[in-house]
Amino acid sequence: MTLVAGRDTGAVTLQAEVERKVLTNTETVHLVNPSVSLELSTITVDTDMLFLPQRGTGRADSTLIRVTLIDETGVPLGNHTGTVQVQSTGGLLASSTAEYVDSLAAYITTMYSPTEAGEAQISATYNGELLGEEIQIRFIDVEIPQGISPNGDGLNETWILSGLDGVGSQVTVYNAQGEAVYYASPYSNEDPFLGTSNVGAMAGNELPNGTYYFRIAYGDTERNEVYNYLIIQR
């Protein structure tokens, strides 16, 4: 007879057939959960590169931290209760706790408000014992001006996105109709957006005054995105 791992206690019905006569008996059994493997257990994040919440992003970024408890054979534990705590160096992510009750993973979403750019090491503990290996999150301080005035007076002529160089970014600007009017990958502050379209029907022409919208994708995952508006006033 095979018993399912992860079940703590329960009634098991034993049935046997002896010379075509069925014998049935019910017994209560107590099973011991496999022990948690601290080395095999994992920590993952949806994104490992986040914008600081101020300076043009309009919101505070967050990431979903996933902690998976693994048994000694490498299989995710089910029905295994304990306290999982997530913390980071420098206090850039608030500590979070969650009771591990899911069959595959404990999910912990942590909002943060870091005050400076840098890197944070994320770690997790299970009942006070360190789990797996630490992971790293990079915080990027990017200033996103929400307006440019390309009229030749030397003020706010170009859209300089300070802090974005070297990140690996894709920048798209859209008009009010949702049509892309500018695209750059990667975006370079040495050749910034000047209020002139480079894609679509307006390519090569100056864009008229008005409110536009932008999308900045950065890093290696699709989850790293920032949206907001941009005003062109000549």
Shared fold status for 42-140 and 142-234: yes
Separation of CA 161 from chain center: 22
CATH topology of domain 42-140: Immunoglobulin-like (2.60.40)
DSSP secondary structure code for residue 40 in this structure: T
**Highest CATH level, class, for 142-234:** mainly beta
Residues 6+ apart with CB under 8 A from 36: 69, 70, 71, 77, 80, 82, 126
Q: Average per-residue pLDDT in the chain?
A: 76
Which pLDDT tens digit goes with each residue over 51-90? 765 454 445 566 677 788 888 888 877 666 677 777 777 6
Please check the confidence at residue 26 and state whether its pLDDT lies above 60.
no
Which pLDDT tens digit goes with each residue over 157-193? 999 998 887 777 899 999 999 999 999 999 999 999 9
* Residue 212: closest CA among 163, 155, 150, 168: 150
> What ranges do the domains of the chain cover?
42-140, 142-234
**pTM metric for this prediction:** 0.62
pLDDT value of residue 11: 52
